[in-house]
Amino acid sequence: MVNISNTTTFVLAIHVLSFLSIGLNIPLLRQCVGFIYLTFIPGFVILGALNMTEKSITETLMLSVSLSVAFVMFIGLFINTLGPFLGVPEPLSANLSAVIMTSLTLIIFFFSQRKAIGKSLNLPNQDFIAELHTKGFIICVLSVLLLFFSAVGALYANTSLTILAIIGTAAIFATCTFSKVLPLKYYTFVLFVVSLGLLYQTSLLSRHIMGWDIFNEYYTFKLVRTAGYWSPPGVVHSFTMLANFYSMLSITILPTIYSTFLNVEGDSIFKVIYPFIFAFVPIFLYKTYESQSGKLVGLLSAFFFIANPINFYGLESLSIAREMIGCLFFSAAIFSLLNQDLSTRNKRVLVVIFSAGLAASAYSLSFIYVFFIVFVFIALRLRERGEKLLNLSLFITILVVIFAWYMFVSTPPLNDLSYVINNIFQRFTQDVSSSQARLDTQYALLSPTVQTTFVGLVHKILIYLTHGFIVVGAAIITVKPKTMRFSAEFRWMTISATYILIICLVVPNVAPALNFSRFYRVTMIFLSPLFVVGGIYVLDLLKRIQIPSRLRFGKVTFKGFELLTLVIVLTAFFLFRIGFANYVSGGYPISYSLNFDDMSARALDVSIPELDVSSARWLVARTENNSLVYADGNVLRPLIDYTNINRDNIVALSNTTQPRANSYIYLSSMNVDEGLYPIPIQSDKIYSNGQSETYFSP
Mean pLDDT of 414-418: 87
Q: ∠ at Cα 260 (257, 264), nearest 5°?
A: 110
Contact 366, 358 (CB under 8 A): yes
pLDDT at 100: 92
pLDDT at 608: 78
- Residue 440, Ramachandran bin (φ over 0: left; ψ between -120 and 50: alpha; else beta): beta
Specify the range with the lowest mean pLDDT, choosing from 196-200, 323-327, 427-431, 600-604: 600-604
pLDDT in tens, 109-152: 988 776 554 444 445 444 445 455 566 778 888 999 999 999 99
Mean pLDDT of 378-407: 89
Please, what sign has the CA dihedral across residues 475, 479, 482, 483? negative
pLDDT at 633: 65
Contacts of 107 (CB under 8 A, 6+ apart): none
Mean pLDDT of 78-91: 90
Please, what sign has the CA dihedral across residues 364, 369, 372, 374? negative
Report whether pLDDT(336) > 70: yes
pLDDT in tens, 554-596: 444 455 778 888 999 999 999 999 999 988 888 776 778 887 7
Contact 337, 329 (CB under 8 A): no
Q: Specify the pTM.
A: 0.92
* pLDDT bucket at 1, cuts 50 / 70 / 90: very low
pLDDT in tens, 224-245: 999 999 998 877 777 788 888 9
pLDDT at 550: 44
Pairing of strands 693-697, 663-667: antiparallel
Report whether pLDDT(623) > 90: no
Specify the range with the lowest mean pLDDT, choosing from 65-79, 89-103, 448-462, 569-583: 448-462
Domain boundaries, the chain: 2-127, 132-585, 608-697
Supply the angle between the helices 344-359 and 363-383 in degrees, to the nearest 10. 140
Closest by CA position to 322, among listed 270, 361, 267: 361
In the chain, % of residues over pLDDT 70:
86
pLDDT at 88: 87
pLDDT in tens, 433-489: 666 666 544 455 555 555 567 888 898 899 999 999 999 999 999 888 777 778 889
Residue 75 and residue 83: Cα distance in Å, rounded? 12
pLDDT in tens, 205-217: 888 888 888 988 9
pLDDT at 551: 44
Specify the range with the lowest mean pLDDT, choosing from 11-20, 204-213, 420-429, 602-611: 602-611
Contact 102, 18 (CB under 8 A): yes
pLDDT at 521: 93
Average pLDDT of the chain is 84
Pairing of strands 693-697, 629-631: unpaired
Report whether pLDDT(5) > 80: no
